[in-house]
Structure 1
Amino acid sequence: MNIFIALVLILFPLVTIILKRRKLPPQQRIPPGSLGLPLIGQSLGLLQAMRANTAEKWLEDRVKKYGPISKLSLFGKPTVFVYGQDANKLVFASSNSNTMTNHQTQSVRMILGDRCLLELNGEDHKRVRGALASFLKPESLKMYVGKIEEEVQTHIQMYWQGKQQVTVLPLMKNLTFNIICSLLFGIESRERRNEYVQQFQEMIQGMWSIPVNLPFTRFNRSLKASAKVQKLLKDLLQEKRQELLKGAPSNQDLISCLLSIHGEESQDSVSEDEIIHNVMLIMAAGHDTSSVLITFILRVLANNPTVYEAVLKEQDEIAKSKSSGEHLTWQDLAKMRYTWKVALETLRVYPPIFGGFRKTVKDIEFGGYIIPTGWQIFWVTSMTHADEHIFQEPEKFDPDRFDSQASIPPYCFVPFGAGPRICPGYEFAKIETLVALHHLVTKFKWKLCCPDNFFKRDPMPNPTKGMPVQLTPRTST
Structure 2
Amino acid sequence: MDYLAIAVALVAVVSSIAIIQLLTRGRKPCAANLPPGSLGLPVIGQSLGLLRALRSNTNDQWIQERIDRYGPVSKLSLFGTPTVLIAGPAANKFMFFSSALATRQPRSAQRILGKNSIVDLHGADHRRVRGALQEFLRPDMLKMYVRTIDGEVRRHIDENWANRATVTVMPLMKTLTFDVISALLFGLERGARRDALAGDFDHVMEGMWAIPVNLPFTAFRRSLEASGRARRALEAITREKKEKVEGGKASRNSDLITCLLSLTDEHGERVLSDEEIVANAIVALIAGHDTTSILMTFMIRQLASDPTTLAAMVQEHEEIAKNKADGEALTWEDLAKMKLTWRVAQETLRMVPPIFGNFRVALQDIELDGYFIPKGWQVLWTANATHMDASIYHEPAKFDPSRFENQSASAAPPCSFVPFGGGPRICPGIEFSRMETLVTMHYLVRHFTWKLSCKSDTFVRNLLPSPLHGLPIQIEHRTSA
* TM-score between the two structures when normalised by the length of structure 1: 0.93
Q: CA deviation at 1:263?
A: 8.8
Q: Deviations over 1:27-61 (max 9, x none)?
A: 11101111111111111110101111100101111
* 1:455 counterpart (454, 459, 474): 459
Unmatched tracts of structure 1, length 5 or more: 1-16
Shift of 1:451: 3.9
CA displacement 1:178-232 (0-9 Å, x = unmatched): 0000011100132221010111111221111111111210001111111111110
Match of 2:433? 429
CA distance in 1, matches of 2:300, 2:258: 34
Give the whole-Å Cα distance in 2 for the aligned partners of 1:22 and 1:157.
Answer: 64
The equivalent of 1:126 in structure 2 is 127
Deviation at 1:414, TM superposition (A): 0.4
TM-aligned CA deviation for residue 404 of structure 1:
2.1
Residue of structure 2 equivalent to 1:8: none
Take 2:159 and 2:456, find their aligned partners in 1: how far apart are those partners?
28
1:229 is paired with a residue of what secondary structure? helix
Amino acid at match of 2:93: K
1:299-357: CA deviation from partner (whole Å, max 9, x where unpaired): 11111111111111101111111111211011100000000000000000000000010
The CA distance in 2 between the partners of 1:112 and 1:263, in whole Å, is 26
What residue in structure 2 maps to residue 356 of structure 1?
358
Task: Provide Cα deviations, 1:388-413, integer angstroms capped at 9, x if missing partner.
Answer: 11111111111011012232321110
Between the two proteins, the alignment pairs up a number of residues equal to 456
458, 468, 472: which one aligns with 2:472: 468
| Alignment-derived partner of residue 290 in structure 2 | 288
Aligned equivalents of 1:196 and 1:264: distance in 2? 35
**1:61 equivalent in structure 2:** 65
2:225 paired residue number = 224
Structure 2 counterpart of 1:249: 251
Match of 1:11 in 2: none
Q: How does 1:272-421 map to 2 (within 5 A)?
A: 272-406=274-408, 407=410, 408-421=412-425
- Checking the alignment, whether the CA contact within 8 Å between 1:25 and 1:372 is kept in structure 2 is no
- Per the alignment, residue 111 of structure 2 pairs with 110
Of stretches 266-275 and 294-303 in structure 1, the one that deviates more from structure 2 is 266-275
Quick one: which amino acid aligns to residue 116 of structure 1? S
Residue 296 of structure 1 aligns with an amino acid whose one-letter code is F
2:210 alignment counterpart: 209
Larger displacement relative to structure 2 (446-455 or 127-136): 446-455
CA distance, structure 1, for counterparts of residue 193 and residue 445 of structure 2: 30
Q: Is 255-264 or 131-140 further displaced after alignment?
A: 255-264
Cα offset, 1:264, TM superposition = 7.8
TM-score, reference length from structure 2: 0.92
Counterparts in 2 of 1:29 and 1:162: CA distance versus 1, 3 Å: same
Counterpart of 1:129, as a letter, is: R
- Between the aligned partners of 2:232 and 2:266, the Cα distance in structure 1 is 24
What residue ranges of structure 2 are gaps of 5+ in the alignment?
A: 1-20
- In structure 2, C-alpha distance between the alignment counterparts of 1:451 and 1:370, rounded to whole Å: 48
Q: Sequence identity of aligned pairs in percent?
A: 51
Which has the higher Rg, Structure 1 or Structure 2? 1
Measure, in 2, the Cα distance between the counterparts of 1:269 and 1:137: 17
CA distance in 1, matches of 2:89, 2:77: 23
- Report if the CA contact (8 A) 2:167-2:475 is conserved: yes
Are the counterparts in 1 of residues 262 and 270 from structure 2 also a CA contact under 8 Å? no
Q: Which runs of 4+ in 1 moved over 3 A?
A: 20-23, 262-268
Letter in 2 for 1:137: R
CA distance in 1 between counterparts of 2:267 and 2:260 reads: 13
Between the aligned partners of 1:102 and 1:62, the Cα distance in structure 2 is: 23
Task: Give, as a single letter, the amino acid of the residue that structure 1 aligns with 2:316.
Answer: E
CA distance in 2, matches of 1:452, 1:262: 54
Whole-Å separation in 2 of the counterparts to 1:452 and 1:299: 12
Report the Cα distance in structure 2 between the residues aligned to 1:107 and 1:261, rounded to whole angstroms.
Answer: 31
**Alignment partner of 1:45 out of 42, 49, 63:** 49
Q: Which one of 79, 86, 95 corresponds to residue 75 of structure 1? A: 79
Q: Deviations over 1:442-470 (max 9, x none)?
A: 11111111243311111110000000000
